[in-house]
Structure 1
Amino acid sequence: MRSIRIDFAAPGWRRALYRLRPAWLAVGALGLALCVAAALAGWQLAEQRQAYRHRLQHQQERQAALAQPRPQAPRSVIAPAQAAFVNGAVLQLNLPWRELQDAVAAATPASVALLALEPDPRKRVLKLGAETKNSDDMIAYIEQLKQQELFASVVLIHHEINEHGPQPAAALPTRSAVGGAMTALPVPALLLRARLGLARLGPFACVALALCLLGLGAWAWLLPQRAEQAALQARPLPPLAPPSLLAAAPTANQNLADFYDALGERRYSEQQVKILFGLAAKSGLTLSQGEYKSGYDKASRVATYQVTLPVKGSYAAIWQFCIEALRSMPFAALDELSFRRESIAEPVVEARLRLTLYLKDAEPAVLP
């Protein structure tokens, strides 16, 4: 026969303590020990992090003190008109024509005829003109230009074609989602079972279980944090850079002096034209005609010598002449390059290029 235990004691802490099993006392003691140890380890981790932050801040303050620039001599004020002209000239001179030529040549197939290249360095825009046989070649050429890393974006702004064909519609793949309703869980029944189980265990057993779970959760979070902090402290701080290795940024006056040093001599302008004739002959081109225009900017005391040359030859020879001219005369800027040919397959093209030579006087006005 199965015995039935009947307890007539009134509910209270004494009754719960009397019915508490020794195993729950052990669980409670373990949970309390885990919580206390986790609290101590957390406090130690916070102290280590604070000490590391103080070390890092001290290192940064020392580096900032070493990086402070030394007192410099008073700088002279550069006139706005002079600065505007010099900045514009620097943009023209620094155009990456070699990279532009490589990118355009890599994207231009045999079915496309290049007609013009007009860069705008202030807007960082290159206007390109080309001729194709049909609209498909035009769209394919734009896609090829977009694949070049040198061009951030390629936009079609104008076109003139004679043939229009229907374009097939692009079909986009579709995806379908299938879902179903989940069977509702008997939540009230589960809550009732949990409540009865906790009441059966008693308050002391519940507290012991909660302490144990809290301690385990705290250590599960603390162990990765302590390992990360230990690895961070084992890593040495970045060494201080000596003051001699901290290069100071060039001043505006230094940049202006470098610009004047790179200019050509105004009194030797005819020698620069002679260089162009020699480079044209080397490339197999003949300069049968040329237009020359002189200019002078009073604010910067820089002379400009604009050279417009119509040439005729192969596409490769014309590009070789342009690149060699810019290489031989660093103070020359290629402002415009346009082509004209009878047909796309014509090997000989007529080109018109405009160069600007930036020249200085014998004693340019360089601010100290």
Structure 2
Amino acid sequence: MNQLKLVADRLRLAADLWLHRHGPWCLLFVGMLGVLLGFALIVMPQLNAELATKQATLKNLQVLVASSQERSVPAVDSAAKSALHYQAFRENLADDEQVLPSIKAILDSAERHHLVSSRAEYLRAGDDHAQTEMLQMTVPVKGRYSDIRRWIEDILGTQAFVAVNELAFKREEISENQVEAKIRFTIWHHPASPAKRAGRIRASEVAP
């Protein structure tokens, strides 16, 4: 008991000496420092957690921006390719004056390939969006399959503005060497001039 009292007296004496040397302001400073240290120990973990959350959010935003940029590049490439394809399509269009010679060339080619053609059917149409017109020509022919195939290859190889939209074959007997086919060609061409189009309309109005 006496020893504890002695220790307490020594501590009190040391505190009195420290206060006498440094004054009460130093004690106040030490107390404030302790308060600040305790506040930092409490607040800093919360600030660290909030900072980590913001960093994760920023990383997610960076990933989203990068992925959107990667998706936008193919979209731009696709649009550019579509524009190039459309430009190539426009360059291959026939003039309106080439339509009738093209029809004659198709029929003459069928004859050269030893095909017998029946009466062809014609249908005109326009595409305002693409600013083009087309003439659909359905031709029934009869002949050997190999001749029909070479005839179609000849047309597509010599007339870039002609497309094949429908192709049907029929053979009455398996033993027959001849087949019947119905091919629908589409001749793509530039629109006719307003005067020529008006002339067609007048001609159709007076046609019997």
Instruction: State the distance in 2 between where 1:252 and 1:335 align.
Output: 21
Residue 349 (structure 1) aligned with residue 179 (structure 2)? yes
In the TM superposition, what is the alpha-carbon distance from 1:311 to its structure 2 partner? 0.4
Decide whether aligned partners of structure 1 residues 334 and 254 sit closer, same or farther in structure 2, where only a CA change above 3 A counts: closer
Structure 1 unaligned segments of length 5 or more: list them.
1-248, 364-368
Q: 1:138-181: per-residue Cα shift (whole Å, max 9, x none)?
A: xxxxxxxxxxxxxxxxxxxxxxxxxxxxxxxxxxxxxxxxxxxx
Decide whether aligned partners of structure 1 residues 340 and 362 sit closer, same or farther in structure 2, where only a CA change above 3 A counts: closer
TM-score (normalizing by structure 1): 0.30
Aligned length: 116
Residue 257 (structure 1) aligned with residue 84 (structure 2)? no
Q: 1:311–1:350: 8 Å Cα contact kept in structure 2?
A: yes
Decide whether aligned partners of structure 1 residues 255 and 320 sit closer, same or farther in structure 2, where only a CA change above 3 A counts: closer
SS at 2:154 equivalent:
helix
Aligned equivalent of 1:281: 111
Name which structure has the greater RCO, CA cutoff 8 Å, separation 6+.
1
What one-letter code is carried by the residue in structure 2 that aligns with 1:303? Answer: E
Instruction: State the distance in 2 between where 1:336 and 1:255 align.
Output: 23
What one-letter code is carried by the residue in structure 1 that aligns with 2:160? Answer: P
Fraction of identical pairs, as percent = 30
In the TM superposition, what is the alpha-carbon distance from 1:258 to its structure 2 partner? 2.0
Q: 1:333–1:355: 8 Å Cα contact kept in structure 2?
A: yes
Instruction: State the distance in 1 between where 2:94 and 2:150 align.
Output: 22
Please, what is the CA RMSD of the aligned residues? Answer: 2.3
What one-letter code is carried by the residue in structure 2 that aligns with 1:328? Answer: T
Residue 325 (structure 1) aligned with residue 155 (structure 2)? yes
Counterpart of 1:360 (choices 183, 187, 190) is 190
Decide whether aligned partners of structure 1 residues 289 and 300 sit closer, same or farther in structure 2, where only a CA change above 3 A counts: same
Q: 1:267–1:361: 8 Å Cα contact kept in structure 2?
A: no
Instruction: State the distance in 1 between where 2:192 and 2:121 align.
Output: 25
Aligned equivalent of 2:122: 292
Q: 1:251-309: per-residue Cα shift (whole Å, max 9, x none)?
A: 64444322200111123210110110221111011323100100011121110110000
Structure 2 unaligned segments of length 5 or more: list them.
1-78, 194-208
Which has a greater percent of helix?
2
What one-letter code is carried by the residue in structure 2 that aligns with 1:325? Answer: I
What one-letter code is carried by the residue in structure 2 that aligns with 1:273? Answer: I
SS at 1:320 equivalent:
helix
What one-letter code is carried by the residue in structure 2 that aligns with 1:263? Answer: L
Aligned equivalent of 1:129: none
Instruction: State the distance in 1 between where 2:82 and 2:169 align.
Output: 39
Decide whether aligned partners of structure 1 residues 300 and 346 sit closer, same or farther in structure 2, where only a CA change above 3 A counts: same
